[in-house]
Amino acid sequence: MDAVERGSSAKNARDGGETMLAAEPNGCGTLIRRGKATCGAHGDQGDLPPAIWDKVKKHPCYSVEAHHHYARMHVAVAPACNMQCNYCNRKYDCANESRPGVTSEKLTPEQAAKKVLAVASRIPQMTVLGIAGPGDPLANPEKTFRTFELVAKAAPDIKLCLSTNGLALPDHVDTIARLNIEHVTITINMIDPEIGAQIYPWIFYNHKRYSGIEAAKTLTRRQLQGLEMLSARGILCKVNSVMIPDINEQHLVEVNKAVKSRGAFLHNIMPLIAAPKHGTVFGLKGQRTPRNSELKALQDACEGEMNMMRHCRQCRADAVGLLGEDRSAEFTKEKIVTMNINCDPEMRKAYQAGIEEERRARSMPRQEQVGEHAGGTSDIKVLIAVATKGAGLINEHFGHAKEFQVYEVSRSGAKFVGHRRVDHYCQGGYGAQDDLAAIIRSINDCHAVFVARIGGRPMSELNKAGIEPVDQYAHEFIENSGIAWFSAYLEKVQSGQIQHVDRGDGAIRQDPMISVA
């Protein structure tokens, strides 16, 4: 759903007589409005209770709007894992590979706390510390919780976030609540043990190794138990699920229903990453990865009753910065030793107040935007790609983009639906033809690409591919610009000037990104 109202809309809705009922189970304060959960996972406050909105509004993973403005960081303090996944291969000292389980440095809790302060002093919009590996944080509970304790004491304004496979989760819910860890992500890929046996070769639980159906039964029982326990404590829970074609792609609809009924706040369905070069079991066996059209169709099918996260970047265990960027190389152990760290909470507070003022200034009910720009009747929906550096603006040169954000535009408005990682096309003053072709393949399902600037050669190649390059909305807001363009597109279709055609499919990138200085 799109939370489009300003912060006062919850009161206005109640005054208007709409029925608001608590979800069963409580679901972290989730509300039900006319039968659909309105979790406020992105946009303005909508009808979220103030306490829940406070947890969501500056968390870039829990709010698609916040991810334009706020940064997060992960610290790699948890190397051990208590299970094996066929899609996972933990790698160390791997600077160019961007996927979960990868890190360049392992840290002690003390080193991690110092790194957090260093990042917070130089990236004042960093609001969330996450521990996501490179193993499982709850298979390393002493290191994980010691890190959280040190950070909470040194920088209490930073929100604490934990990602886990859920096997050990029920044993640590009390500690999670005591340390005020407000956000927990659980990776749940199945609730059917027969499917689980195809994903997990083994688990290690209660000092014993289990495999096959028995392992999957134990895992799913523990995961769902932990989710229920966290929801009962009012801790916001996001569920991650890896879409594995021909194994769990249809089954994830049932997973979605199961986690929603147990209070999950948000569901993130991610594509399998399984290139052979990654060395995973699935990669070496040739397991295919999903197509973008398949991923979007599954996300759409699950969105009817639950908010979906579509802006996930499947981050490394040492990620730093806005989603979609990686600044971890600026904060290595060697560099932090030489830094003069001054994490001023007042400076951070003032900086973030400026961000919130900017968000308020750009806030506009989506229905007003639609009413202004999109007229007539049409069920046409198209995808557009956007080159952006953040802040919700079209503010990146086509050749400098490291990713394109993808929006679905229709008479209902502009809706974020995903992103596409690419290499820079412009490298040292020239553009590589192979890179341009790869970019076009990645956004081949889009009707247009919005950019701040674009050169003649990529403009020509995009037009040949049937993708319209759009630069007249440079440095303007993405949603407004997308709706304005779509209104003009509809007018051309309805007048017979152009014929609407469905596009092809965009490629999901599997190979590592190439960093360009």
Q: Which residues, 6+ apart, have CB-to-CB distance to 221 below 8 Å?
A: none
Is residue 509 in a domain? Answer: no
Q: What CATH number is given to the structural domain containing 385?
A: 3.30.420.130
The arithmetic mean of pLDDT across residues 263-290, rounded, is: 86
Is residue 296 in a domain? Answer: yes
Is residue 384 in a domain? Answer: yes
The arithmetic mean of pLDDT across residues 452-470, rounded, is: 92
Q: Above 70 in pLDDT, residue 166?
A: yes
Co-location of 143 and 264 in the same domain: yes
Is residue 336 in a domain? Answer: no
Co-location of 38 and 93 in the same domain: no
Lowest mean pLDDT among 82-96, 420-434, 443-457: 420-434
Co-location of 390 and 429 in the same domain: yes
Among 116-130, 169-183, 482-496, which range has the highest average pLDDT?
Answer: 169-183
Q: Above 50 in pLDDT, residue 473?
A: yes
Lowest mean pLDDT among 5-19, 84-98, 318-332, 432-446: 5-19
DSSP state at residue 194? H
Q: Above 50 in pLDDT, residue 384?
A: yes
Say what percent of the chain tops pLDDT 90: 43
**What is the predicted pLDDT for the residue at 89?**
73
The arithmetic mean of pLDDT across residues 371-382, rounded, is: 66
Of 433, 408, 436, which Cα lies nearest the Cα of 422? 436
Co-location of 428 and 318 in the same domain: no
Look at the block and give the residue holding tokens 């249809």. 250
Co-location of 391 and 310 in the same domain: no
Lowest mean pLDDT among 203-217, 250-264, 268-282, 481-495: 268-282
Q: Which residues, 6+ apart, have CB-to-CB distance to 330 below 8 Å?
A: 122, 320
In the structure, what pLDDT confidence band is assigned to residue 95 with cuts at 50, 70 and 90?
Answer: very low
Co-location of 216 and 98 in the same domain: yes
The whole-angstrom separation of Cα 344 and Cα 504 is 50
The arithmetic mean of pLDDT across residues 419-424, rounded, is: 75
Q: Above 80 in pLDDT, residue 1?
A: no
State the total domains in the chain: 3
- Are the beta carbons of 403 and 422 closer than 8 angstroms? yes
Co-location of 399 and 426 in the same domain: yes
Name which residue leads in pLDDT, 314 or 430.
314
Co-location of 275 and 410 in the same domain: no
Co-location of 303 and 404 in the same domain: no
Is residue 163 in a domain? Answer: yes
The whole-angstrom separation of Cα 388 and Cα 506 is 19
DSSP state at residue 13? H
Name which residue leads in pLDDT, 66 or 290.
290
* Residue 414 CB neighbours (<10 A): 27
- Are the beta carbons of 347 and 101 closer than 8 angstroms? no
**What is the predicted pLDDT for the residue at 395?**
92
Of 267, 264, 303, which Cα lies nearest the Cα of 26? 264
Is residue 514 in a domain? Answer: no
**What is the predicted pLDDT for the residue at 43?**
52
Co-location of 161 and 305 in the same domain: yes
- Are the beta carbons of 420 and 506 closer than 8 angstroms? yes
The whole-angstrom separation of Cα 318 and Cα 326 is 9
Say what percent of the chain tops pLDDT 70: 80
CA distances 8 to 12, 44, 45, Å, are 7, 10, 8
Of 420, 423, 411, 413, which Cα lies nearest the Cα of 310? 420
Q: What CATH number is given to the structural domain containing 109?
A: 3.20.20.70
Convert the pLDDT of each residue in 142-164 to its tens digit. Answer: 999 999 999 999 999 999 999 99
**What is the predicted pLDDT for the residue at 35?**
33
Is residue 372 in a domain? Answer: no
Is residue 357 in a domain? Answer: no
Q: Above 60 in pLDDT, residue 443?
A: yes
Co-location of 240 and 384 in the same domain: no
Show the domain range for 42: 1-57
Co-location of 45 and 96 in the same domain: no
